[in-house]
Amino acid sequence: MAGLTLPPRAAAAAAPPAVGQDPPWVRALVLTAVVGFIGLFLFAPLAMVFVGALSKGVGPVLHALAQPDSLSAIGLTLLVAAIAVPVNAVFGVCAAWAVAKHSFPGKAFLITLIDLPFSVSPVVAGLIFVLIFGLQGWFGSWLSDHDVKIIFAAPGIILATIFVTFPFVARELIPLMQAQGVDEEEAAATLGATGLQTFWRVTTPNIRWGLFYGVLLCNARAMGEFGAVSVVSGHIRGQTDTMPLHVEILYNEYDFVGAFSVAALLCLLAVVTLALKALVEALEPQFLESGAPRHGV
Amino acid sequence: MAYDRPDAPETDVNAGPAPDLAASNRDAPSRAPTPDASAPAAITLDHVSKQFARFPALRDVALAVQPGELLAVVGPSGSGKTTLLRLIAGLEFPDQGRILFGDEDVTLAKASDRRVGFVFQQYALFKHMSVARNVAFGLDVRRRDRPNRKHRDARVAELLKLVELEGLAKRYPMQLSGGQRQRVALARALAVSPRVLLLDEPFGALDATVRKSLRRELRRIHDATQVTTVFITHDQEEALELADRVVVLNQGRIEQVGVPEEILSRPATAFVAGFVGQANVFDGEVRAEVFEAAGMRLPAEGVADGPAQAYIRADQFALGDAANEDGGGLEVLVRRAPPCTGLVRLEVDLEGRLFEAALPRREGFATPAAGDRLRLKVVGGRVFSSPA
pLDDT, one tens digit per residue, over A163-220 is: 999 999 999 999 999 988 899 999 999 999 999 999 999 998 889 888 988 998 899 8
Q: Quick count: other Cβ atoms within 10 Å of Cβ B60?
A: 14
- A window 160-199, beta carbon within 8 A of B: 183-184, 186-194, 197
Supply the ipTM of this predicted assembly.
Answer: 0.77
A187 and B120: CB-CB below 8 Å?
Answer: yes
**Whether B132 contacts B156, CB under 8 Å:** yes
Residue B9 pLDDT greater than 90, yes or no:
no
Q: How far is CA A78 from CA A157, B328, B337, B374, B379, in A?
A: 12, 95, 80, 90, 87
pLDDT in the model for residue A290: 44
pLDDT at site B21: 41
φ, ψ of residue A18 to 5 degrees: the values are -70, 155
pLDDT for the residue numbered A35? 94
DSSP B28: S
Task: Check residues A264 and B28 and name the one with the higher pLDDT.
Answer: A264
- Find out whether A210 and A172 touch, Cβ atoms under 8 Å: yes
Compute the count of residue pairs across chains A and B with CB atoms less than 8 Å apart. Answer: 87
- Residue A39 pLDDT greater than 50, yes or no: yes
Residues on chain A touching B142 (C-beta within 8 angstroms) = 192
Q: Does A12 touch chain B (CB under 8 A)?
A: no
Is the alpha carbon torsion for B156, B161, B166, B171 positive or negative? negative
> Across the beta sheet with B280-287, what order do the strands follow?
B296-299, B290-293, B280-287, B306-312, B382-385
Q: Pick the residue from chain B with its C-alpha nearest to A187.
A: B124
Does any CB of chain B come closer than 8 Å to the CB of residue A288? no
Q: How far is B333 from chain A (nearest CA, A)?
A: 29
Q: Spell out which residues of chain A touch residue B135, defining contact as CB-CB under 8 Å.
A: none
Residue in chain B lying closest to A207 (CA): B128
B-chain residues near A196 (CB < 8 A): none
Evaluate whether A225 touches A161 at the Cβ level (below 8 Å). Answer: yes
What number is the average pLDDT over the span A117-131?
89
- Are the Cβ atoms of B111 and A184 closer than 8 angstroms? no
Over range B269-278, report the average pLDDT: 89
Percent of chain B with pLDDT over 90: 43
Chain B residues touching chain A at CB-CB below 8 Å: 89-91, 110-118, 120, 122, 124-130, 137-138, 140-143, 170-175, 188-189, 191-192
The pairing of strands B382-385 and B306-312 is antiparallel
Beta-strand pair B306-312/B280-287: antiparallel
**Which stretches of chain B are DSSP H helices?**
9-15, 19-24, 81-89, 131-140, 149-162, 178-190, 208-225, 236-242, 260-265, 270-275
> What kind and span of H or E run contains B344?
strand B344-350
* Cβ pair A292:B192 closer than 8 A: no
Cα distance between residue B268 and residue B383, in whole Å: 10
Smallest Cα–Cα separation from A198: which of A88, A101, A96?
A101
**Is the pLDDT score of B28 beyond 50?**
no
Poorest-pLDDT segment among B85-99, B118-132, B363-377: B363-377
Whether the pLDDT of residue B199 is over 90: the answer is yes
Q: Is B98 helix (H, G, I), strand (E, B) or coil?
A: strand
Contact A292 B172 (CB under 8 A): yes
Is the pLDDT at B33 greater than 70, yes or no?
A: no
**Dihedral angle sign, alpha carbons of residues B297, B303, B309, B313:** negative
pLDDT at B8 (0 to 100): 39
Domains delineated in chain B: 43-265 (3.40.50.300), 278-385 (2.40.50.140)
Quote the CA–CA distance of B302 and A246 in Å, as a whole number. Answer: 95
- Give the pLDDT of residue A295: 36
Q: Beta partners for B350? A: B353
Average pLDDT (B237-242) is 88
Residue B222: band (very low, low, confident or very high) from pLDDT cuts 50, 70, 90: very high
Q: What is the mean pLDDT of chain A?
A: 84
Torsion of CA B336, B338, B342, B343, to 10 degrees: 0
- Where is pLDDT greater, at A289 or A49? A49
10 Å Cβ neighbour count for B293?
A: 18
Residues in chain B within 8 Å Cβ distance of A202: 126
Shortest distance between the Cα of A293 and any Cα of chain B, in A, equals: 7
Section A78-94 average pLDDT: 94
Residue B92 has pLDDT above 70, yes or no: yes
Closest-approach residue (CA) in chain B for A200: B141
Report the pLDDT value the prediction gives residue A133, as an integer from 0 to 100. 86
pLDDT at A6: 43
User: Is residue A57 less than 8 Å (CB to CB) from chain B?
Assistant: no
Report the residue from B91, B127, B130 with minimal CB separation from A291: B127
Lowest mean pLDDT among A35-49, B75-89, B349-363: B349-363
